A and B are shown apart, each in its own frame.
Chain A
Amino acid sequence: MKNVPFKYLALFFGVQLLTGPQAFSQNCGISELTGSTIRERSEAQARAYIEADQLALQIYASYLSGGSIDIKKNCSNPIYRDLLESSLHKTFKAETLKKLLVSGGNKAEFAKKIQKKTISPFRLTGHFREDSPTEKAGGFHRGHGSIFMNFTKIPPAEWEIYFIHEFAHSLDSELLNSITPFANVELIQSFYTATKNNSWSEEQKQQLTAWLLHGLNRGFLAEYRAWTVTFALYLEGLRDGTFKKIRWMDDILSHQQPGESLKSFILRYLSPHFTDPQKGPFSSPQVQESLKVLRQELLTNPPPLGENFDDLYENGQR
């Protein structure tokens, strides 16, 4: 895990951005829900959603520019807090997609692929509740395809980069297609038996290689694909002015050799940082050796990035 130089542990947004005279009261700055008739209350309810969306938009803009106010202290009424929270999830995702779409090129194509998915479970964390499922700044869940991003752990200048990276995982067909075959209990049991008897048939060796590839597709190769896409879009964004330079990304790119393709470089760069497991079936010398050979072959011939990324990558190399 990269060390994020983080100075955004508290959420601070600019008071001056807030609307209404009661700016950021316990109602989070949203007008009181009230009315004397059904129609008036219906209009008040609709207005509250609009105000929550406007507020979320201001918070998003303020986050990106580094403003300040502690929204946790000024948003205590749960009805209004829930309204704002819902708007925050939606707004951060929608506005980021909008920015990528407007930027054009492969970034826009990437955003269109995200939009094609009917529903992409996405959760913004770091506000109101400390509810991030892990300590990481973001994560993609292989089991149900959901994404969380903790914006208090992501420097504003790097928000889109993290966004691209997490959504790249969600578009990674190789990753998603490898989960079920990797969890083949009968196959794993047969590897245990072969290890115990020290007897591997040729078919089992082939099955082992395929199984290990599925495993790598869930881990090391998933990061290879996501980082290759992330760096490719970062470089495009630098060229067209969408992104500013990010030191740690440039430091990594400085290791790319002349003439080396981006995906070859990313694979080579990441490889020594990803160690092989040693427990369970991976304690078998046959499994360890097969994994070592497989990883060496992959280094020599970087695998395709998959149906959603190959076109983006090839376009970016032209």
Chain B
Amino acid sequence: MKSVLFVALFMGLNTNAIAGGEGRNGPDLQGISIPVSMDRLISIKKIGEAESKCLSQHVVGPAVFQVSGAKPNVLVHSTVYRQQRYFSVSGASAYCSDGIMNGQSCKPITLSGIYLESYSFFFGGDHRGYSLQIRGTGPSYELSLNLPVFDYISVEDVDLFDDLGGKVGTALRISEIRARGEISQELPFINKSTGQPTAVKVNSEAYVDCVAAEIAN
């Protein structure tokens, strides 16, 4: 029994171990010659949280501010799914109604020449790209964004189980992280119908740096 328990811990098939911060080398001048604790993996959930936070902070929040003047706490809902080797996050919305958006004041805007007091944002994306829809009563805009998409090159997949043997998720050991897409300090949204760059710009370099920093947490 003892050996079975050891192997389970050793391989990381234990959520407590995942959360325990093990698996690190540091500036050590002394220690155990062979660390027997598991090499903590990164969960898909964690990747989703990192991307969601950074999309909210560096993409959706700034875009909503630039269009509406409001600085609401926009949260991207992390619907994370796996397609081959990459993951994507989708889903954020914000509604400007009666001059208020998520508790912040928002300004009327003009869409297609129509003055609007109320309007809404829908932000979404997958591995092919991201888009922001601005909808009013009647007119609407769809803006696309060539935001970098991350490839998490995995060398190992491990199913995670709780103490009663229930599957609680999947974790990865990552050999490399790559970003595909344009990394720029001022990346413009493109109007989908005209193909023209808009004045709404995001800092995709900051977005990439943010994801790298969140994963390292």
Chain A contact residues, CB within 8 Å of chain B: 1-2, 33-36, 38-39, 41-42, 45-46, 49, 78-79, 82, 86-87, 89-90, 117-124, 131, 133-134, 136-148, 162, 165-166, 169, 175-176, 179-180, 183, 185, 188-189, 192, 212, 215-216, 218-220, 222-223, 226-227, 252, 270, 273-277, 279-282, 291, 295
**Contact of A90 with B209 at beta-carbon distance under 8 Å, contacts A2-B29, A275-B32 already known:** yes
A223 touching B65 by the CB < 8 A rule? no
Chain B, residues 116-159, CB within 8 Å of chain A (1/0): the string is: 00000000000000000000000000000000000000011000
Residue B114 lies at the interface, judged by CB distance under 8 Å to chain A: no
Distance, CA A133 to CA B185, complexed state (A): 30
Q: Per a CB cutoff under 8 Å, which of B61, B178, B216 touches A122?
A: B216
Partner of B199, one of A38, A123, A180: A38
Residues of B within 8 A of A142 (CB): 23-25, 39-40
Instruction: Say whether, besides A119-B212, A144-B173, A139 and B7 are in contact (CB < 8 Å).
Output: no
Residues of chain A within 8 A (CB-CB) of B217 are: 123, 131, 133, 148
Please name all residues of chain B whose beta carbon is closer than 8 Å to the beta carbon of A274 when the two chains form the complex.
30-33
B35 contacts across to A, CB distance below 8 A = 215, 218-219
Quote the shortest CB–CB distance from A225 to chain B (angstroms): 10
Distance between A258 CB and nearest chain B CB, rounded to angstroms = 23
B3 to A273, Cβ gap below 8 A?
Answer: no
Interface string of B57-76 (1 = CB under 8 A from A): 11001100111010101000
**B-chain residues with CB within 8 Å of residue A270 when the two chains form the complex:** 29-30
On whether the beta carbons of A136 and B26 are closer than 8 Å, the reply is yes
- CB-defined A-B contacts under 8 Å, sample of 14: A2-B28, A42-B201, A89-B210, A123-B213, A124-B213, A139-B26, A142-B25, A144-B172, A145-B174, A183-B10, A185-B10, A226-B25, A277-B34, A291-B34
The answer to whether B26 and A192 touch across the interface, beta carbons within 8 angstroms, is no
What distance in Å separates the Cβ of A133 from its nearest Cβ neighbour in chain B? Answer: 5
B206 at the interface (CB under 8 A from A): yes
Task: Select from chain A the residue with minimum beta-carbon distance to B201.
Answer: A42
For residue B188, which residue of chain A has the nearest CB? A42
Partner of B212, one of A120, A137, A138: A120
- Chain A residue numbers with a CB within 8 Å of B168 are none
Question: Separation in Å of the B199 CB from the closest CB of chain A?
Answer: 5
Q: Could you tell me if A176 and B34 are in contact, using CB atoms closer than 8 angstroms?
A: no
Compute how far the CA of A123 lies from the CA of B216 in the bound complex, rounded to whole angstroms.
6
Known: A1-B28, A280-B36. A86 touches B209 (CB 8 A): yes
Q: A46-B185, A79-B71, A120-B212 are in contact. Are A1 and B30 (CB under 8 A)?
A: yes
**B208 interface residue (CB < 8 Å to A):** yes
Given contacts A144-B172, A219-B33, A220-B34, 10 further A-B contacts (CB under 8 A): A41-B65, A118-B176, A118-B179, A121-B215, A122-B216, A136-B24, A180-B156, A183-B12, A223-B28, A275-B32
Cα A212 to Cα B34 with chains together (Å): 8
B181 within 8 A of A: no
How many Å from the CB of B141 to the closest CB on chain A?
11
CA distance A175 to B38 in the complex (A): 14
Residues of B within 8 Å of A82, CB to CB, are: 57
- Whether a CB of chain A sits under 8 angstroms from the CB of B42 is yes
Determine the distance from Cα of A140 to Cα of B23 in the docked complex, in whole angstroms: 8
Given A222-B25, A223-B25, A277-B34, A119 contacting B208 (CB threshold 8 A): yes
Provide the residues of chain B in CB contact with A117, threshold 8 Å.
Answer: 176
B103 is an interface residue with CB less than 8 A from chain A: no
**Cα distance, A176 to B39, chains bound together (Å):** 11
Determine which of A119, A218, A227 lies in contact with B39 in the assembled complex, contact meaning CB atoms within 8 Å.
A218
Instruction: Pick the contact of B11: A118, A183, A192, A226 (CB < 8 A).
Output: A183
Min C-beta distance of A51 to chain B, whole Å: 13
Cβ of B14 under 8 Å from chain A: no
Report the separation of the CA atoms of residues A272 and B201 in the bound assembly, to the nearest whole angstrom. 57
B27 contacts A by Cβ under 8 Å: yes
A209 to B23, CA, bound (A): 22
A49 touches B206 (CB 8 A): yes
Tell whether A192 pairs with B36 under 8 Å between CB atoms, given A223-B31, A274-B30.
no
The residue that A136 contacts in the complex, of B23, B27, B69, B213, with Cβ under 8 A, is B27
Does B36 lie within 8 Å of A169, measured CB to CB? Answer: no
* A42 close to B29 (CB less than 8 A): no
Which residues of the other chain, A, contact B42 by a CB distance below 8 angstroms? 143-144
Question: Once bound together, how far apart are the Cα atoms of A277 and B34, in whole Å?
Answer: 7
Q: How far is the CB of B77 from chain A (nearest CB, A)?
A: 19
Tell me how far the C-beta of B101 lies from the nearest C-beta in chain A, rounded to whole angstroms: 14
Partner of A143, one of B23, B29, B210: B23
